[in-house]
Amino acid sequence: MPLVESPQWRRKATDFFSSSSFKLKQAGQSAGDNIADVAGKVGTVVKSRWAIFQDARQRPPPPGDTVQERFISAAANTGVILRKGISETKEKVAVGKVKVEEAAKKTADKSKTILNNIERWQKGVASNDVFGVPVEATVQREQSGKAVPLILVRCADHLVISGLSNEYLFKSEGGRKVLQQLVSLYNEDSGASLPDGVSPIDVAALIKCYLASIPEPLTTFALYDELKDARVSIDDLKNILKKLPNVNYMTLEFVTALLLRVSRKSALNKMDSCTLAVEFAPLIIWQQGDSGTDLRNHLRFTLKPPPKIVDTTTSTTTWDLLDEDDVDASSQIPLDDGSPPDYGAIEVIQCLIEHHNPIFTDANETVWR
């Protein structure tokens, strides 16, 4: 004869399983389709336990045992299982949510990169780039109130404050990886401040890389011959430079004013006006159709990440070699291919440095505090 349990315990057991089932269902719904199987497994355990209880009602208990005690023990065990199952379900929901958010962010970032690349391919350069873009277009887009690209302003200010005394400034090579990071920084935000701790040598190299990247020199192609012919005359140079577009004129004044400041520290930095002219002439004055001087091509090369070519004998890539701190990236190409220096252009730039103030009288002379 089946044992008879009290209505009170029957009601408590029924309420326990009903409420547990409801909570489990809620957890399963919140977990989504991917977690539903976890809730289903725990639900199966609940049904199995309830079947055991029903069966227990039909069998006589061991001596000293009661239905109530069995209900209490079974309910307690099932409660532990339920709480564990619900807890695991919630944890998986939380983990799943994080993974979904991470995946969504990665997808959005990748989509943005793809769209930016498409824009670059369509326009040649991205709309916010400063490298490889005419100076006038950069100044117009920046709308800073200055007639000089902001990247030059940021770099010059940094050097005047802390870097003019560095040995071989504008002659020493900058770190290739650092330069690539700085180029990316200013292509994203042309008004960005230089990162803390950046080396004056890298800042100086960034100025040279910027000038090497613009499609037409600051002196323009049209004035190439006139400037070379007038290189010994301050008055002639002054009058010819008045023909430049305003942005080119003001930027040229700004750059040569900085070089003048550097040359005045030549006892410390070993960079006099002649040495600076040799470094900057190929970046400021060249003729149309010139495929690029050694220095200009070298600086452009510096800004490009090398192709990832695998050496099957050593399993070492070109990029791996460039990652090493003791490797000078500039050594990857020769700087002397036999083309003679443009001595006329060098003389022009040297004159602009040494006689900066008399030549640029029509400009608001650049003054750093």
Would you state the structure tokens that stand for residue 290, as one six-digit string?
């010139």
Task: Name the CATH superfamily, with its identifier, for domain 135-306+341-360.
Answer: Rho GTPase activation protein (1.10.555.10)
Which residues contact residue 30 at a Cβ distance below 8 angstroms, ignoring those fewer than 6 apart? Answer: 90, 93
pLDDT tens, position by position, for the chain (369 residues)?
444 444 554 555 555 555 555 555 555 555 555 555 655 665 666 566 666 656 655 666 555 555 556 556 666 666 666 677 667 766 766 766 666 667 667 666 655 555 554 555 445 555 689 999 999 999 999 988 899 999 999 999 999 998 899 999 999 988 999 999 999 999 999 999 999 999 999 999 999 999 999 999 999 999 999 999 998 789 999 999 999 999 999 999 999 999 999 999 999 999 999 999 999 999 999 998 776 555 556 666 555 554 444 444 444 433 343 344 444 433 333 344 456 789 999 999 999 999 999 999 876 656 655
What CA–CA distance (Å, rounded) separates 337 from 137? Answer: 33
Cite the DSSP H helix spans in the chain. 7-31, 36-58, 67-123, 135-142, 150-162, 176-188, 200-213, 224-229, 234-241, 246-263, 266-269, 273-284, 294-303, 318-323, 343-354, 356-359
Q: What is the DSSP string of 183-248?
A: HHHHHH-TTPPPPTT--HHHHHHHHHHHHHHSSS-TTTTTTHHHHHHTTT-HHHHHHHHTTS-HHH
Rounded to the nearest 10 degrees, what angle do helices 135-142 and 246-263 cross at?
A: 100
For 143-164, give one letter per residue: b (16+ CB within 10 A) or e.
eeeebbbbbbbbbbbbbbeebb
- Domain regions of the chain by residue span: 8-55, 135-306+341-360
